């Protein structure tokens, strides 16, 4: 599985590490050099070995480029973000969820879809109510998301129950903080 992703980003080139907040912008010559190294299954270029160590504490010194890096091709589309909202409902009963969405972690295909998207080099963001995160800890540690956003519904157990109408006062709060 790749450790970093090299990608065109509109008129720039970046290298990112899945699950890490920091990335690096690189010149087009480095991107082309790197893409050629991946195609030829060469060692990771020394400039990237040093940069990955400094940015993420990642040792790529003994890695082959084709195993350590996923290189996204340059396209005429200049994509920068894709969104897919997996949503089969919600395990809470908030009125706003009926209008705006639901809980992705209740989808029985979430893990398979997540693994597939991660393997394609997508930087994944999960927007969740947090109640099912504890069921996906191993997956998220193995393949860290770029970002997790957890909705917190109220400052007290009473306001949580009033909004979510679950009959499980405070249960979601305990599950979220048990995982973190």
* CA distance to 55, 85, 134, 146, per residue, from 114 (Å): 25, 11, 16, 12
Q: Answer yes or no: do 105 and 51 share one domain.
A: no
Q: Minimal CA–CA distance to 14: which of 31, 32, 33, 39?
A: 31
Highest mean pLDDT among 20-24, 43-47, 82-86: 43-47
| Per-residue model confidence (pLDDT) at position 41 | 94
Q: Answer yes or no: do 173 and 109 share one domain.
A: yes
Residue 76 lies in a domain: no
How many Cβ atoms are within 10 Å of 116's Cβ, its own excluded?
11
- Pairing, β 125-128 against β 23-26: unpaired
Q: Answer yes or no: do 99 and 174 share one domain.
A: yes
Q: Answer yes or no: do 120 and 49 share one domain.
A: no
Q: Answer yes or no: do 25 and 57 share one domain.
A: yes
Residue 173 lies in a domain: yes
Q: Answer yes or no: do 66 and 117 share one domain.
A: no
Residue 90 lies in a domain: no
Could you report the per-residue pLDDT of 133-154, keeping only the tens digit for each? 899 999 999 988 888 888 877 7
- Least confident piece of the model among 4-8, 53-57, 145-149: 145-149
Bridge partners (DSSP) of residue 13 are 8, 26
Number of structural domains the chain divides into: 2
Beta-carbon contacts of 127 under 8 Å, excluding residues fewer than 6 positions away, are: 104, 149, 151
| Per-residue model confidence (pLDDT) at position 129 | 83
Cα–Cα distance between 88 and 99 in angstroms, integer?
13
pLDDT top residue among 26 and 178: 26
Highest mean pLDDT among 17-21, 50-54, 94-98, 113-117: 50-54
Map residue 12 onto helix, strand or coil.
strand
Q: Answer yes or no: do 63 and 118 share one domain.
A: no
CB 29 within 8 A of CB 36: no
DSSP 180: -
Cα–Cα distance between 173 and 154 in angstroms, integer?
10
Task: Give the structural domain span for 111.
Answer: 95-179
Cα–Cα distance between 12 and 31 in angstroms, integer?
10
Q: Is the pLDDT of residue 81 over 70?
A: no
Highest mean pLDDT among 45-49, 124-128, 161-165: 45-49
| Per-residue model confidence (pLDDT) at position 180 | 47
CB 118 within 8 A of CB 5: no
Residue 114 lies in a domain: yes
Residue 56 lies in a domain: yes
CB 29 within 8 A of CB 37: no
Q: Answer yes or no: do 100 and 63 share one domain.
A: no
Percentage of the chain exceeding pLDDT 70: 85
Q: Answer yes or no: do 102 and 151 share one domain.
A: yes
Residue 87 lies in a domain: no
| Boundary of a domain, candidates 19, 38, 71 | 71
């Amino acid at each position: 599985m790749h450790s970093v992703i090299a990608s065109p980003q509109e008129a720039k080139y970046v290298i990112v590490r899945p699950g890490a907040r920091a990335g690096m912008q690189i010149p087009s010559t480095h991107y082309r050099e790197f893409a050629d190294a991946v195609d030829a299954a060469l060692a990771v270029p020394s400039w990237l070995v040093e940069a990955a160590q400094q940015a993420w504490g990642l040792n790529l010194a003994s890695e082959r480029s084709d195993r350590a890096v996923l290189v996204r091709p340059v396209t005429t589309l200049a994509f920068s973000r894709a969104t897919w909202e997996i949503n089969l409902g919600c395990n809470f009963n908030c009125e706003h969820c009926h209008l705006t969405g639901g809980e992705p972690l209740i989808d029985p295909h979430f893990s398979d879809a997540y693994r597939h998207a991660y393997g394609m080099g997508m930087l994944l963001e999960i927007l969740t109510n947090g109640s099912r995160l504890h069921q996906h800890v191993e997956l998220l540690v193995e393949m860290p998301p770029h970002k997790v956003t957890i909705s917190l519904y109220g400052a007290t157990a009473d306001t949580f129950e009033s909004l979510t109408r679950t009959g499980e006062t405070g249960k979601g709060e305990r599950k979220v903080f048990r995982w973190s």
